[in-house]
Amino acid sequence: MKKLLVIVYYWPPSGGAGVQRWLKFVKYLPQFGWMPTIITTKNGDYPAIDESLCKEVPAGIKVIRTKTPAFGKWFKKINGKNSDVPYGSLEINSADSLFKKVSIWIRLNLVIPDARKIWNKFAYRAAGIELLTNQYDAVITTGPPHSTHLIGLKLKKKNNINWIADFRDPWTQMGYLKNVKRLKITSHFDKLLENKVVKTSDAVIAASQKIISDLNCSPDKIHLITNGFDPHDFNRIKKEKIDDNFNLNYFGSLPAESNPISVLKAIIQLYKKGISDIKMNFWGNISKDVKEQLNNLDDCGIAKFHQHISHSKAIELMSNSSMLLLMINNVKNNEGIITAKIFEYIGCGVTILGVGPASSEPAKILHETGSGKMFQYDNVEEIADHIENVYKLWKQGKETRSKDIEKYSCVNLTKKLDAVLDKFI
C-alpha cells in the first residue's frame, strides 16, 4: 500500500464546506492503493463544529492532532461572547468595535498569508517526526488556510519529499480580499509566497479553472480536480414532504458579499401576486448585516434563519427542499468562485437557483448538468419569473432531472487524484 501524508487544518470535528474535500478523498484513496495519514489541528478556529463528521473518518486511518493556538476565544473574550469571529469575510462597518476594526487591519496588512500560520510550527514538528519514522511516497498540503503550504515548503527543503500543494480556494485572489483595503507591500509579499509555493512544489492541484489561471504555474504541473459529492451520502436519504410550503433553502456560510436580497424581493413580488406559500430558509453562519437587511425588507414572514446543523442533517434537508439557493460572492473577478456546496446540491437532485455571474464556472456547471440556472445579482424580474415557473411545476408534482453528474462524484475525483499521485511512484 502506497503511503500519503496529508496536512490539513480543517478536519472533523470542524464543520463547514472546507472539511468535505479531504474527508472524502481520504475515504476513497484506499480503493486506489493509497493509505493516508492525517496531520491536523486540535481545537482550532473552526467555522462550526460537527461531531457527526468524526464518524465518517474511515477506521484504520491514522490521525495526528497537534497543539493548535487559536484566536477565536480571545476575540470573543475581548469583543464580546456573542460576537462573530471573522470567517470568510474581512469587511468591517461603522457599527463594529474598535477592537474588531484594528484586528482585521492587522490581519490584512501584518499577517501573511493568514492568522492560522501560528499552527505551522506544531504541524511541521509532527510531520518531521512522521517522515523520520515512516516511509511516505508523497505529502499533500491543502489550503485554505494557505499558510499550511508553508509547512510543505519547509518540509520540501529539509526532507526533499514529493510535495503536492492543493488549492481548494484562491490564495492572493481570494474573494474576501477583493472588497477590502490592503497595503500594496503586503499584497506584494503575499504574492511572492504564493509563487514560491507553486514553483517549489512538485505538483499543484486546483479546485477550479479560475484558480489555475490565477496561479503562475506551468500547464504540465497543475491539475484540475474540482470538489464533488459523495453518492453514499444520498443513498440513505428518504424523500419526504416536510411541510406544505415551497421551501427555497440555503446551506452554509453567507457573508455580506453574498446578500440574497434580490431573491427575497422576487419572492415578495410573487407574494403580492397571491403566491404566499414560498419560504426562504437559511442554515449556517449568516452575516449579521445580511440578516438585518433581509429582516428589514421582509414584512411577509418569508425568511427564516436556523443555526448550523450537522452535515448529515443538511444533506437530508437539501434533498427534501423544493429549490436550493446558490450565492456567488459579489466581488471582483468572481467568475471562478465555485463553492463546494454546488456539488452536493447537484448530488441531491433538487433544482438550483444560482445568483452570480452568468458566464461563471458555476453557471456552466449548472447548465451542463441541467441542475439549475444562474441569474445576475439585481435581475429581480427574471429571478421572480424563474421561481414562479419552478413553483408551478412543483404544484403539479413534477421534478427536473440532472444529467452527466457522475464526473463530479468523489469516487471519480479520487481516481483523478490517484493519477496525479502515481506520477511520483
Q: How confident is the model at residue 126 (pLDDT cuts 50, 70, 90)?
A: very high
Check residue 237 and give left, alpha or beta (phi > 0: left; psi -120 to 50: alpha).
beta
Q: Which residue has the cell 472533523?
A: 12
Q: How confident is the model at residue 238 (pLDDT cuts 50, 70, 90)?
A: confident
Q: How confident is the model at residue 91 (pLDDT cuts 50, 70, 90)?
A: low
Which residue has better confidence, 288 or 260? 260
Per residue in 159-173, pLDDT (tens digit) is 999 999 999 999 998
DSSP 8-state symbol, 318:
H
pLDDT at 240 over 60: yes
Q: Count other C-beta atoms under 10 Å from residue 305's C-beta.
A: 16
Q: Which residue has the cell 506520477?
A: 423
Q: What is the mean pLDDT of residues 136-147?
A: 97
Which residue has better confidence, 28 or 91? 28
- Per the DSSP assignment, residues forming a β-bridge with 354 are 326, 374
pLDDT of residue 174: 78
Largest Cα separation within the chain, whole Å, is: 69
What is the average pLDDT value for the chain, to the nearest integer? 90
Q: How confident is the model at residue 71 (pLDDT cuts 50, 70, 90)?
A: low
CATH class of 231-406: alpha beta
Percentage of residues in the chain having pLDDT higher than 90:
72
pLDDT of residue 173: 85
Chain-centroid distance, C-alpha 389: 30
pLDDT of residue 307: 86
Q: Does residue 269 contact residue 382 with C-beta atoms inside 8 Å?
A: no
Contacts of 101 (CB under 8 A, 6+ apart): 92
Q: How confident is the model at residue 23 (pLDDT cuts 50, 70, 90)?
A: very high
pLDDT of residue 97: 66
Q: Count other C-beta atoms under 10 Å from residue 225's C-beta.
A: 20
pLDDT at 83 over 80: no
Q: Count other C-beta atoms under 10 Å from residue 278's C-beta.
A: 22
Q: Does domain 2-69+115-226+410-424 have CATH number 3.40.50.300?
A: no
Q: How confident is the model at residue 401 (pLDDT cuts 50, 70, 90)?
A: confident
Per residue in 264-309, pLDDT (tens digit) is 999 999 999 999 999 999 999 899 899 999 999 999 999 999 988 9
End-to-end CA distance of the chain: 12
pLDDT at 80 over 90: no
Q: What is the mean pLDDT of residues 16-22?
A: 91
Q: What is the mean pLDDT of residues 45-63?
A: 93
Side chain identity at 168, as an amino acid letter?
Answer: R
Percentage of residues in the chain having pLDDT higher than 70:
92
Segments making up each domain of the chain, as ranges: 2-69+115-226+410-424, 231-406
For β-strands 138-143 and 2-7, DSSP reports them as parallel
Q: How confident is the model at residue 78 (pLDDT cuts 50, 70, 90)?
A: low
Here the cell at position 137 is 511516497
Strand, helix or coil at 352?
A: strand
Q: What is the mean pLDDT of residues 249-265?
A: 94
| Topology match between the domains 2-69+115-226+410-424 and 231-406 | yes
For the chain, state the CA radius of gyration.
22
Contacts of 349 (CB under 8 A, 6+ apart): 234, 319, 399, 401, 402
Helices (H), 60-97: 72-79
